[in-house]
Amino acid sequence: MPILLVSCDDLENMTSKGLVIVYTGKGKGKTTAALGMALRAIGYNHKVCMIQFIKGSWHYGEMSSSKRLEPEFEMTAIGKGFVGIIDDKSPKEDHQKIANEAVRISKEKILSKKYDLVILDEINYAVNLDLVKIGDILDLIKSKPNNVNLVLTGNYAKPEIIEVADLVTEMKEVKHPFQLGIKAKKGIDF
């Protein structure tokens, strides 16, 4: 078995390099996993920014609980709400305009050098729904400073994003209470 020799400088660069992490798949837990990572990072006094691309107009638990983690945690909900479902009557162009504004804000936050961890929540959905261009997201990933960890959540992660990521976890649904007619629960689902 070959022995890998690594200098102290190389080891430091390997451990301080910011990662690109993707949580995707049809199972629950993508945003929750990202929030768990945020909680862990805050435990080390890291600064965390979460930008939500889709959920913007609805109230859900992390909107309130994130305020308790300030100033280490900053959450910005930008989207107009879930696209094309339930009570969405907004034209797709409105969703696209807001999603592209979210990309601009994301780039600003990533390049600000204020954050150790930036979470782009539901960005994979935004790409899949053609609200933002995949090329813009790949440029965003390429532009991130070396020390910033970047998390992208949402189902339907494109192969191009998976390819540039350092870590990809796919959530797989095995069983869901909705199948039994149980509606979404406060504190569990939203």
Segment 157-178 mean pLDDT: 94
Instruction: Please give the average per-residue pLDDT across 113-118, as a whole number.
Output: 97
Provide the whole-model pTM: 0.86
Say how far apart CA 98 and CA 76 lie, in whole Å. Answer: 13
Pairwise CA distance, residues 100 & 92, whole Å: 12
Nearest alpha carbon to residue 78 among 119, 114, 116: 119
- Gap between the terminal Cα atoms of the chain: 50
Domains delineated in the chain: 17-180 (3.40.50.300)
pLDDT of amino acid 11: 46
**How many whole angstroms separate alpha carbon 109 and alpha carbon 118?**
8
**Res. 81: pLDDT tops 70:** no
pLDDT tens digit sequence for 96-105? 999 999 999 9
Rounded mean pLDDT of 49-71? 83
Rounded to the nearest integer, the mean pLDDT of the chain is 88
Average pLDDT value for residue range 41-53: 96
Mean pLDDT of the 81-99 span = 74
Q: Answer whether residue 80 shows pLDDT above 70.
A: no
Distance in angstroms (rounded) separating the CA atoms of residues 109 and 21: 17
Q: Which residue has the higher pLDDT, 117 or 188?
A: 117
Mean pLDDT to the nearest integer, 58-67: 78
